[in-house]
Structures are given as structure tokens and as C-alpha cells.
């Protein structure tokens, strides 16, 4: 895996994306409001490349993690109130709960890529890299010498 | 015709990064007096103009030939941000283009508070209690910090779609049986049911996305903003999901400060007039009179605004939704706000204390061109170095990213169209007012020409066109 410096958040593997792979985009599911949630509908382009159950479990895990990040629970309220009391200087010192979850999601995506998706010729792109608009799945081309 | 295009883009690139001598920020807004020009000065002149903008990036431009060295610094994302924003402190501060009224707001608050602390507080501290200036200082600091936080933070801008995403959306909503040559734009809305309420998602032609619910496109900043409230010229920024609570706290604390200063000034004048008459008191302390006038006129608007936003917070609505009447009961049909938490307390808690995502635009992140686009070169590192010459295959990567900057609110450089034509095309957003030129649909075989600086890494279509 090529290692790129400059402190990019992007997963190393996404940087060596071949240019001629086709991409599939899992769009956001807004049926529960503005919370980040991806559709679990299995797209035709993935048919044959990955099992529906594995795909759905990945999406559901991601959805659960995002839900936890955005949940309106007392932990998030306390964090915000504490930050307000410290004149928001605490944000300079600590990561917010949301940021911590996003890091966790990044690690989960990398781990899923390594164990599940890349062996099947697919690659997930962390939704943060796409502005949380969509979950991009690259269908890796076998002919491309990566 | 890569030469012509390459030359044009190299000129464009150079012109965009022209430094602004009188500005505090490294913003990418070009001077109106030096309009967008396609000049062809030789490389050394352009290099010196880069130095003024970012002196730590000279090294990468001097390294044009080496294919092994990595540049010491890469370009940060804020420098190629497509919206009409101003960035300062190397991407840490993000504001709207027009900030004159923001400076006026700051000056007004600072001057009024300064007069208060200078002329009224000494008298009141001595004759009443020193707690008055103490509370005043704390309130003033709170007002200024919430103002700065509102003005300088990303309101919740949604990054624009990459070309692949845009092409995918277009493909999904393409109208079948369309005659080739005649271009029918894709349907602009999509409906989604949220908790039983039908909500329309609109397609944004500028950002090439279906906007999430409650998001809206700000025509002044040329960005889609999540939970868009309004664009506030007084704070010099949009008010959206990420900075609404600071905006609310700002106007709330400012209204308290206004009332507080007004009350203290009146107390001061009345106390003084007990020793003498009121006119003499006013003559002895003219600053108090000025403050009283400023506060008297400000209080109506600021307190009114604070009251209005308190209502919005309690009902979990945005200014945008309230103005449009999206969830008001007057429509005669079963309309309710699907985003409301159910009770006023929970709504307030949700809006003011809920979790906020980090900035999705990642302004301080580095733009790393996709290594796959260096098929024409050997090294990712030379991308930045070769943008001016344009001869190297990796140069176009940076050109694509830079070509999106719009100093005058118009796109003056283009990406090569996806169908491989070398002609550059103009883009104009048909939804925006005419003076804001952004994108337009161009019928070239019925395709959307998608262009986005963020997509220049990882996009196969751009790659193809540069190699024609």
C-alpha cells in the first residue's frame, strides 16, 4: 500500500484507486429525518460480487454508528454544555463525540475493506471523504495493475 | 488540443492565485480592479506572485523536473474551494465574500461597549457597585466570542458532488426515450416521506446533489448549507446547522448587553442628575447619551430578532421554513413539522446542545491528486509543480482543481467536457439570479458536464479528456 504523508485522513487504500474502476453510490436514506443513514437497498451492479447479507450488515453497522454519533442523548448534551461553559475552548483540546465516532467509522471501513470487500474486488470509500452524501463503492478492475 | 487548453488553464491558474496585497486573509477573492485576465507572463514572474500568497510553497514550484521528490507542502482544500467564500488563517476561518457589514457590527459593539466601560463604569463602580463593570465585561466577552464563532465557522456546507456521483445521479433520473441532441434536464425534485410528512428534495444544479431535507443553496455564498437558516450580512456568513446555536447565543447575549448598557447609562444619568439637573448630567457625560441612542435604536431590532429565533428554536424550524410556511397550520392540510422533537424543551435542547458534525468540507485538509491520474507521470509530487507548464500529464490534475475558483462569482476556467471535446464551456446555474454565474447545462450529446475540484482526484472522466 502506498503511504502518503501530509496527514490525510483518507484511507491509504483509497488513494491508489485506479481511475478506470466503475463506481456505485449508495445514497442517503432520509426517511427518518436528516440523520445520516444509508439505504440498504442492494444495487444491481453489486449482484454476484458480494452477498446481500454481508452488504446489509455493513450498511446497518455504519447506520448504527452514525445514529450513535447524532443521537440526542444526555452525553452529547453534557458535552455541549461543558464546551459552552469553557467558551468552546474544550473543542480545541478534545475531539467531540461525533469526531470520535467518525474516526471509528473510518477504521471500520478500512477493516471491512481489508477483510471483506477487497478480496471480492470491491472497495468502500469512507463517507466522510464524500461529505457524508453517499457511500461510494468502487468495483475494482481486475485488468488494472494496482 | 491540449496545448491550447493547457495554455489557457495555466494562465487561469496563475491568475487565480494572484495575491491580495491589502487583505488580512489569504482569501482567493480576486481584486475587481485587476479583473480575471489571461496573461502570459513567463514562469518566474508567476512564481514570485505565488510567494506572496504562500511563501512556504516556493519549493514545489521550483521543482519542475524531478520526478522523485515529493513537494514540501501541498495545496490545501480551502484554496480550491468552489464556493464564494473567503478563507483566512490558512483555512481556519471561513466567511462570506462580503464582510463589510460584519466589520461594522464589530465596530459598533466594541465602540459602544468601550464608551460604556470608559465613561459610565467608573462612576457606577464607585457609586453603585463594581459588579456592574464586571458583569459588563463578562457579557461583552461572551457577545464577541459568539459573534466570532458564528462568523468564522463553517455553517454546514455540503461539499459538491464529484463528477462520478453527478453522473450516477443523472443516470438514475435520466428521462428515457429522450431524442438525442435535445436535452431535457433531469427532474428537479424527489419526494421522501419523513415520519408521515411528505418532504420534497430539490436537485441543486450547482452542487449536483439532491439536497438533504432542510438544506438550501445560498446564492450569496454559492454553497448548499445543511439546515440552512439564512445568510446574515451582520455576521458575514451563512447561518446553518453548525453555527446556528452560536448565532442564537450571539443575538440573545447582544440583546441582554443592549438592555444592560441602556439601563446602566440611564442609571448613571439619573444619579448624576440628582446632584445637578438632567441636562447638565447629559452635558457632563456625552458618551452616555451616544450609548443611549445607539442602544435605544438597536434594542428593538436585536430583541425582536432574539424573540423570533427563540420561537424558531422552540418549534424546531429554520427561518427559511418559517418564511416559506412549510410547516404552518395555515395551509389547510395536515401539516406538521417532522423534525420537531415533540416538546419545546426537547426542541431547545436539540438545537442548542445537540451534537454537531465536524466541517465536511475539510478546509485545512490537503488536496491529494489521485495517484491513478499520474499515469502520465511518475510521481504524485510533480502535480503541483507542473500546473503552469501544462506539458506534463500530471499538470492537468492541479489545473482542474484550481480552475474552479471564481474570483468574480463566475467560472472563468473549465474542465474539459466528459465526452472528450477540448472546447471549454461556460456553466451557469439556471436557478440562480443572473448576476451569480455558476453552472449551466450544456447540451453536448445530452450529457451533463460535471466539474468539481474535489473530484479531480479519483475521477476517470477528467483523466481521459486530458489524455486526448
Determine the 3-state secondary structure of B388 from DSSP: coil
**Half-sphere exposure of residue A1: CA atoms within 13 angstroms, side-chain side:** 12
Answer whether residue B433 shows pLDDT above 70.
no
What is the per-residue pLDDT for B366?
A: 87
What is the per-residue pLDDT for B421?
A: 41
Q: Which range (A114-128, B229-243, B366-380) has the least confidence?
A: B366-380
Q: Which range (A103-107, A118-122, B147-151, B153-157) has the least confidence?
A: A118-122
**ipTM at complex level:** 0.85
- What kind and span of H or E run contains A136? strand A134-139
What is the per-residue pLDDT for B195?
A: 86
Q: What DSSP string runs through B256-305?
A: HHHHHHHHHHHHHHHHHHHHS-HHHHHHH-HHHHHHHHHHHHHHHHHHHH
What is the per-residue pLDDT for B56?
A: 43
∠ at Cα B237 (B236, B239), nearest 5°? Answer: 135
Higher pLDDT, B242 or B59: B242
Answer whether residue B241 shows pLDDT above 80.
yes
- What kind and span of H or E run contains B44? helix B43-53
Handedness of CA B16, B18, B21, B27 (dihedral sign): positive
d(CA B45, CA B442) in angstroms, rounded, equals: 36
Quickly state the pLDDT bin for B113 (edges 50, 70, 90). Answer: very high
Q: Which range (B43-57, B112-126, B177-191, B208-222) has the least confidence?
A: B43-57
Higher pLDDT, B16 or B294: B294
What number is the average pLDDT over the span B208-213? 92
Structure pTM? 0.71
Q: Which of the following is catalytic: B106, B221, B232, B264?
A: B232
Answer whether residue B438 shows pLDDT above 80.
no
Which cell goes with B415? 474542465
- Interface test with chain B among A74, A80, A133, by most B beta carbons within 10 Å: A133
Q: Which of B34-48, B59-73, B229-243 has the highest mean pLDDT?
A: B229-243
Alpha-carbon separation of residue A41 from A20, A56, B113 (angstroms): 25, 8, 58
What number is the average pLDDT over the span A83-101? 87
d(CA A128, CA A98) in angstroms, rounded, equals: 12
Answer whether residue B7 shows pLDDT above 60.
no
- Interface test with chain A among B246, B357, B394, by most A beta carbons within 10 Å: B357
Of A31, A71, A96, the CB nearest to B193: A31
d(CA B217, CA B225) in angstroms, rounded, equals: 6
Do B159 and A133 count as a contact with CB atoms less than 8 A apart? yes
Do B339 and A96 count as a contact with CB atoms less than 8 A apart? no
Active site residue B295: no
What is the per-residue pLDDT for B468?
A: 36
Nearest to A131 by CA among A102, A108, A94: A102
What is the per-residue pLDDT for B32?
A: 45
What number is the average pLDDT over the span B455-461? 39
Do A96 and B145 count as a contact with CB atoms less than 8 A apart? no
Answer whether residue B444 shows pLDDT above 70.
no
Other CB atoms within a 10 A radius of the CB of residue B88 amount to 17
Give the sheet arrangement for strand B189-194, strand by strand.
B189-194, B197-204, B209-210
Of A15, A27, A98, the CB nearest to B368: A15
d(CA A124, CA A126) in angstroms, rounded, equals: 6
Quickly state the pLDDT bin for A19 (edges 50, 70, 90). Answer: low
Residue with cell 467518525: A102
What is the per-residue pLDDT for B252?
A: 96
Answer whether residue B117 shows pLDDT above 90.
yes
d(CA B331, CA B38) in angstroms, rounded, equals: 53
Q: Which range (B152-161, B302-311, B362-371, B441-450) has the least confidence?
A: B441-450
Quickly state the pLDDT bin for B309 (edges 50, 70, 90). Answer: very high
Question: Taking a C-beta distance cutoff of 8 angstroms, is the pair A105, A65 a contact?
Answer: yes
Amino acid at each position: 500500500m502506498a503511504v502518503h504523508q501530509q496527514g490525510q485522513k483518507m484511507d491509504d487504500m483509497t488513494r491508489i484507486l485506479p481511475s478506470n474502476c466503475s463506481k456505485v453510490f449508495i445514497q442517503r436514506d432520509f426517511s427518518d429525518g436528516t440523520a445520516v443513514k444509508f439505504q440498504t437497498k442492494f444495487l444491481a451492479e453489486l449482484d454476484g460480487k458480494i452477498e446481500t447479507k454481508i452488504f446489509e450488515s455493513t450498511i446497518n453497522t455504519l447506520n448504527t454508528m452514525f445514529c450513535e454519533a447524532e443521537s440526542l442523548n444526555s452525553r452529547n448534551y453534557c458535552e455541549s454544555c461543558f464546551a459552552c461553559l469553557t467558551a468552546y475552548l474544550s473543542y480545541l483540546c478534545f475531539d467531540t463525540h461525533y469526531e470520535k465516532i467518525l474516526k471509528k467509522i473510518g477504521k471500520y471501513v478500512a477493516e471491512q475493506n481489508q477483510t471483506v470487500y477487497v478480496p471480492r474486488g470491491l472497495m468502500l470509500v469512507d463517507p466522510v471523504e464524500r461529505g457524508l452524501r453517499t457511500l461510494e463503492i468502487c468495483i475494482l478492475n481486475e485488468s488494472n495493475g494496482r | 488540443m491540449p496545448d491550447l487548453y493547457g495554455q489557457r488553464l495555466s494562465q487561469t491558474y496563475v491568475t487565480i492565485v494572484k495575491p491580495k496585497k491589502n487583505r488580512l486573509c489569504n482569501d482567493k477573492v480576486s481584486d475587481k480592479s485587476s479583473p480575471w485576465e489571461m496573461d502570459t507572463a513567463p514562469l518566474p514572474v508567476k512564481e514570485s506572485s505565488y510567494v506572496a500568497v504562500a511563501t512556504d510553497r516556493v519549493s514545489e514550484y521550483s521543482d519542475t523536473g524531478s520526478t522523485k521528490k515529493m513537494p514540501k507542502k501541498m495545496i490545501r482544500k480551502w484554496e480550491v474551494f468552489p464556493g464564494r467564500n473567503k478563507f483566512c488563517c490558512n483555512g481556519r476561518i471561513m466567511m462570506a465574500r462580503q464582510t463589510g457589514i460584519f466589520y461594522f457590527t464589530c465596530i459598533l459593539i466594541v465602540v459602544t461597549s468601550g464608551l460604556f466601560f470608559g465613561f459610565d463604569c467608573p462612576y457606577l463602580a464607585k457609586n453603585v457597585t463594581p459588579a456592574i463593570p464586571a458583569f459588563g465585561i463578562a457579557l461583552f466577552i461572551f457577545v464577541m466570542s459568539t459573534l466570532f464563532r458564528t462568523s468564522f465557522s463553517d455553517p454546514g456546507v455540503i461539499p459538491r458532488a464529484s463528477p462520478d456521483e453527478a453522473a450516477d445521479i443523472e443516470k438514475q433520473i435520466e428521462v428515457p426515450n429522450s431524442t438525442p441532441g435535445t436535452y431535457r434536464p433531469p427532474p428537479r425534485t424527489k419526494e421522501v416521506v419523513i415520519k408521515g410528512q411528505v418532504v420534497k428534495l430539490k436537485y441543486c444544479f450547482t452542487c449536483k446533489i439532491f439536497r438533504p431535507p432542510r438544506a438550501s443553496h445560498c446564492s450569496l455564498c454559492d454553497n448548499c448549507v445543511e439546515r440552512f437558516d439564512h445568510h446574515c450580512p451582520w455576521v458575514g456568513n451563512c447561518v446553518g446547522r453548525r453555527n446556528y446555536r452560536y448565532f442564537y447565543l450571539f443575538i440573545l447575549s447582544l440583546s441582554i448587553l443592549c438592555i444592560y448598557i441602556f439601563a446602566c447609562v440611564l442609571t448613571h444619568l439619573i444619579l448624576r442628575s440628582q446632584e445637578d439637573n438632567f441636562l447638565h448630567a447629559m452635558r457632563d457625560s456625552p458618551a452616555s447619551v451616544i450609548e443611549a441612542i445607539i442602544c435605544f435604536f438597536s434594542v428593538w431590532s436585536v430583541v425582536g430578532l432574539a424573540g423570533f429565533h427563540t420561537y424558531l428554536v422552540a418549534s424546531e424550524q429554520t427561518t427559511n421554513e418559517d418564511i416559506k410556511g412549510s410547516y404552518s397550520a395555515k395551509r389547510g392540510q395536515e401539516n406538521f413539522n417532522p423534525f420537531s422533537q415533540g416538546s419545546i424543551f426537547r426542541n431547545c435542547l436539540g438545537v442548542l446542545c445537540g451534537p454537531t458534525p465536524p466541517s465536511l468540507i475539510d478546509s485545512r485538509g490537503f488536496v491529494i491528486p489521485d495517484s491513478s491520474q499520474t499515469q502520465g507521470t511518475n510521481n504524485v509530487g510533480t502535480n503541483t509543480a507542473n500546473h503552469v507548464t501544462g506539458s506534463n500529464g500530471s499538470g492537468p490534475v492541479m489545473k482542474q482543481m484550481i480552475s474552479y475558483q471564481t474570483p468574480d462569482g463566475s467560472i472563468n476556467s473549465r474542465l474539459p467536457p466528459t465526452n472528450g471535446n477540448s472546447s471549454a464551456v461556460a456553466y451557469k446555474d439556471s436557478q440562480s439570479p443572473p448576476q451569480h454565474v455558476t453552472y449551466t447545462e450544456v447540451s453536448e450529446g445530452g450529457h451533463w458536464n460535471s466539474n468539481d475540484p474535489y473530484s479531480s482526484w479519483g475521477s476517470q472522466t477528467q483523466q481521459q479528456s486530458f489524455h486526448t
